[in-house]
Chain A
Amino acid sequence: MTAITVIGCGPAAHRLVQRLHHHGHRGPVTVLGAEPEPAYNRALLVSALDGTLRARDLALAPFPPGVRVRTGTRAVAVDRRRRLVRGDDGTEHPYDVLVLATGSRAVLPRLTGAGGRFVPDVRVPRTLAGARPVGEGPVVVAGGGLRGVETAYALGRAGHHVTLVHPGAHPMHRLLDERAGALLTAALRDAGVALETGRRVTGVEPGRAVLDDGRSPAAGTLLLCTGARPDTALARAAGLAVRHGVVVDDRLRTSAPDVYALGDCAEHPGCQATLASAWEQADALARTLTGGDGRLRPARHVVRPRLSGLDVAVLGPPGALRRPDGGEQVVLSDPARGRYGRLVLHDGRVHAGVLVRLPRAVATVGQLYAADRPLPADRLALLLGTGGEYAESAELPDTAVVCQCNNVTKKALEQAWHSGARDLPAIAAATRATTGCGSCAALVRQVCGALAPA
C-alpha cells in the first residue's frame, strides 16, 4: 500500500487528505504541519483578528481516521534517495509518494527600531498566532494588497483606529484599475480607515510606525501584509525544479519522480495562488494518487475580496485590467451609486474584468467567464443586472427630432412624405430637414424608406 506523506497542513493539504479518503485510499497518510494548531481555515483569519470569530471557530473538519498528523513539526529536509522527510524535532517520515503543500511565506520589510522597548506589537496576520485579536490602540496595516485591504477594512468597521499604508497609487493596485481603486478607497474611508498611498512602513518607534517620508502614525499594533511568495526552500534543497514556485505539470508532478506539489507553493501556468485553485488542485491530485484521471483543468476563478457591505469581484489574470491589450472593452460607471464595472473582452468573451457593487452582474458574468462563453449582446443589461427589455417597440417615436438644426420631427417628415415629398430635395424643401449641417440625411432617407411600399 502506498504511503503518502504531505508536508504542510493548510487548506490544500487538508482538502487533499479528505479527497484521498473519499476516493478510497487506504494506505498510510502522514501530514506534517509546522504550526502547532490543527488545520484551520486560513481564509477566515481576518475574522479572528477583528474578534468576530474565536480561534477554534476556524478549525477545519478533523482528518479522516488513520491519518497521522504531526502538528508543530517543521520538515527540514527531504532525502529523496532514502525516500524520507526529516522533521525539525529529529523525526523521520518515510514515503512512497511525497506531496509538498508548504504554502507561501511572507515577504517582510526590514524595519528599523524593531525589538526596541514600547514599540508596537508587530505581527504577520497570516497564521492563527499572528491573527490573535488586536488589542486597544491604533492599528497600522502595512501593505494594501488583497489581504491588507481585507484586514484594514474589517478592523476599521470593528471600530479600531486604522491607518493603511500602501506603496501603490491606490489600494489593491495590481488587481483593480483606477476607478475601482477610487471606489475601494472611498469604502475604506467610510469604514474609518485612514489611507497613506505611495508610502511604505520602514520602521517602528515607541507607540508609532515610521513611514518612508519620515512621518509616524500612532500604532499600538503593526500588521505586516506586505505580500508572500511560494515557500520553496525545502523543494530547492531537495533539488526540485523551482522558478517562482515549485514547477508542476498538469498532474501536479514536480521534476522528481513520486514528488508532487500543490497549493500556493506550486507553480502551474494556468493557476493563481487562490484558495479555489488550491482546492481544485487537491481534487485533481487525489484522483491521480488513487488511480483516476487527475489531469488538472484549471477553471477560471473570480477573486472576491472579503469586504462586508462592498461587493467587489475581479476576473482574469492579474494585471490584465491595467494593460488592456488593444482589445474591446465595455464599462459601466455609476458614481452616484458607487457602482462600476469594466470587462475586457476577447472575441466577445470575458478576458478580464472588475465589478464593484454589481452583484447580479457578478453572478451572470462570473458563470459566463468560468465557462468561457460569449456574452449576450446587451452588455448594459448584463452589467446592471436588468432584464434588458426595451418596452416600446424598437421604433423611433413620432415626436423624436430627426433634423436637429431645423427641429424637424419624424412625424413632420412623415407628413411631408404623405403630402407628396418623395425624395430628399422635396423633403428638404417641405421641411428644411438636411439643410443645416446635413448629417441627418441618412436617417431622413431611412424614415422615408420605411414609408415606401416594399
Chain B
Amino acid sequence: MTRVLVVVGHGMAGHRLVEEIRSGDRSGRWRIVVAAEEPRPAYNRTLLSSYVDGRTVADLTLPAPRLLTDPRVDLRLNTRVTSVDRAARTVTCADGTVLGYDALVLATGSRPFVPPVPGRELPGCFTYRTIEDLDALRAAAVPGEPGVVVGGGLLGLEAAQALRLLGMRPHVVEMAPHLMPLQVDEGGGRVLARLVGALGVDVHCGRGVASLDEGPGGRVCGVTLSDGTRLPARVVVFAAGVRPRDELAGSAGLERAERGGILVDRYCRTADERVWAVGECAAVLGRCYGLAAPSYRMAEEVARQLLGLPSDGFPGADMSAKLKLLGVDVAGFGDVHARTEGAMEFIRDDRAAGTYGKLVLAPDGRTLLGGVLAGDTGGYTVLRALLGRELTAPPEALLAGARAV
C-alpha cells in the first residue's frame, strides 16, 4: 500500500531526502508531497554568490528534470505550511489546503538572523539567503558606492564578494576579533584579513553595529559601529548567522532545543515516531548545524529509515568550511580551536609568503583533529579526508598539499 510522505521545505536537505527516497524506493512504497515555500525548486545555496557572477537560477537548480516530472513526487511551490496536527496526521498550508501524511519530515531550514539594532527595517537593508534576496540586492546596488555587510563569517564574506561583483565598495563588520571566527583561528584570521583587504574589502573586526542611520528619502545611508565609527552605506546586508525555523514545532506540540531548533534524536526523529526533522531546522541531540554537508547526512539517514534500511543515525559534524571567494584561500576543519581534551597544535606561519597553516593533533601527536589553512589551501581536501586518522606525511608536506593518493 502506498503511503504519503509530506516534506515541509524544499531546500538542500528536503531535496536530498526526496532524491534518496526516489532512487531507493523500488517497491513504490512512498508518494511524496513537498510543500515548498519558495517560488522555485531547491537550488544550491552554498553557491549563491555565483548568482551575481554570471550563473543563472538554472545553473544552481538541484533537481534533475525527471524528478520534477516524477508522478510520485508532488512538488507544490509557493506553499507555506502553517500548522501541524499530529493527532489527525495532517499539515495545513497558508492557503488552507490540508495535506494528510503517514510520515512527516520537517526541512524548514533557517532564517537570517538580523540583530536587533535601530534602523534594521530601513529600505536598503537586505538579508542574504535566497535568490529573491540577491535579486533585491542587485536592484539596489550602485557601482562605486559603499555597502556594509554585518557579519564577518563565511556568509558575510560571500556577501562582501557579491557586493564587490556588483561594483560596490564593501565593508565588513565583525563582532569577533577576527574574520570567520567559527572556522579559523587568530593566525588564519590575520592572513584572511590581509587577503580580503587586498580585494578592496574594508574589514572592521572587534566591533558591533550600534545603529543604522537614515538618509534623505528614508533610505539607509550609513552604519554606526559600537566604537562610534560611522561608515557610509548605500546598502546594508545582514549576514550575521542564521536561526532555525522551528515555529511548526509549536503548533505540533513538539519540543524545541534550548537554543532553538526542532529537537530530534540521533536518528533525526522527534518524540513522534512519524515525524522527523532534517537540515538546519533540526537540533540533533540539541545542536543545530547550519551547513549543507551535515544537512545532507541527516536527509540520507532519514531516507534510509523511511525505506526500511538500517540507519546508523547522524554521526555529528564539524564546522569545516573553505572560503570560495576568488583568489582568497582560507579553510578550517575539525577542531579548529583545539578544544579537544589534551589536543596540541602545530603551526607553520610564513609571513614572507603570506601563508599560515595549523594542524590540531590528538595527544599522540599523530592523529589529526582539525586544522586551519590560509593563503594556500592546497592541502585542504587531503587533510579534511584525513580527519580522525593518523597523518600520512609530515605536517608541512600535508599543509602544502603534497599528493596523498
Q: Does A394 contact B297, Cβ atoms closer than 8 Å? A: no
Do the beta carbons of A390 and B348 come within 8 Å of each other? Answer: no
The yes or no answer to B126 lying at the interface (CB within 8 A) is: no
CA distance A416 to B342 in the complex (A): 39
CB contact under 8 A between A395 and B394, given known A401-B385, A405-B292: no
Contact pick for A334, options B293, B344, B390, CB 8 Å: B344
Known: A328-B350, A396-B404, A443-B381. A386 touches B365 (CB 8 A): yes
> Once the chains are docked, how many angstroms separate the CA of A400 from the CA of B385?
5
Interface segment among A18-26, A68-76, A145-153, A375-383: the answer is: A375-383
| Contact partner, B347, options A333, A437, A440, Cβ 8 Å | A333
Q: A396-B385, A446-B405 are in contact. Are A404 and B343 (CB under 8 A)?
A: no
Q: How far is the CB of A454 from chain B (nearest CB, A)?
A: 14
- Which residues of B are found within 8 Å of A395, using beta-carbon distances? 392, 404-405
Nearest B residue to A449, CB-CB: B405
By the criterion CB–CB under 8 Å, are A402 and B365 in contact?
A: no
Whether a CB of chain B sits under 8 angstroms from the CB of A60 is: no
A326 to B354, CA, bound (A): 9
B385/A402 in contact, CB under 8 A: yes
From A388, A400, A406, A446, contact of B394 by CB (8 A): A388
Query: A240–B380 Cα gap in the complex (Å)?
Result: 61
B150-186 CB contact bits vs A (8 Å, 1 = yes)?
Answer: 0000000000000000000000000000000000000
Using CB atoms, name the residue of chain B closest to A401. Answer: B385
Contacts of B346 in A (CB 8 A): 330-332, 379-380, 383
B117 at the interface (CB under 8 A from A): no
Q: Quick one: given A328-B350, A436-B46, A439-B324, are A400 and B397 in contact (CB under 8 Å)?
A: no
Q: Mark A365-409, 1 if CB is under 8 A from B, else 0.
A: 000000000000111110110101011111111001110111100
Q: Is A1 an interface residue (CB 8 A)?
A: no
B393 touches A (CB below 8 Å): yes
> In the complex, how many residues of chain A place their beta carbon closer than 8 angstroms to a beta carbon of chain B?
50
- Which residues of A lie under 8 Å from residue B353 when comparing CB positions? 328
Known: A331-B346, A333-B347, A442-B381. A404 touches B320 (CB 8 A): yes
B360: nearest chain-A partner, CB-CB: A333
Q: Is the CB of A405 within 8 A of B392?
A: no
B204 contacts the other chain (CB 8 A)? no
Assess whether B3 is interfacial by the CB under 8 Å rule: no
**Does B405 lie within 8 Å of A333, measured CB to CB?**
no
For window 317-371 of chain B, which residues contact chain A by CB distance below 8 Å? 320, 322, 324, 331, 338, 341-353, 359, 363, 365
- Bitwise, B237-251 to A at CB < 8 A (1) or not (0) is 000000000000000
Q: Is B261 an interface residue (CB 8 A)?
A: no
Interface string of A440-453 (1 = CB under 8 A from B): 10110011011000
Whether A406 lies near B385 (C-beta < 8 A) is no
CA distance A395 to B396 in the complex (A): 16
Alpha-carbon separation in the docked complex, A226 to B353 (Å)? 40
The reply to whether the CB of B300 lies closer than 8 angstroms to some CB of chain A is: yes
Q: Is the CB of A377 within 8 A of B381?
A: no
Q: Does A438 contact B (CB under 8 A)?
A: yes
Besides A336-B342, A337-B363, A397-B389, 10 new A-B residue pairs in contact (Cβ under 8 A), listed by A number:
A328-B351, A328-B353, A330-B348, A332-B344, A379-B394, A386-B365, A400-B389, A437-B46, A437-B324, A438-B324
Ordered by A's residue number, 25 sampled pairs between the chains whose C-beta atoms are within 8 Å are A324-B351, A328-B349, A328-B350, A330-B349, A334-B344, A336-B342, A336-B344, A337-B344, A377-B397, A378-B394, A378-B396, A380-B346, A380-B394, A381-B394, A388-B394, A391-B390, A392-B390, A396-B385, A402-B385, A405-B293, A406-B296, A436-B293, A438-B324, A446-B403, A446-B405
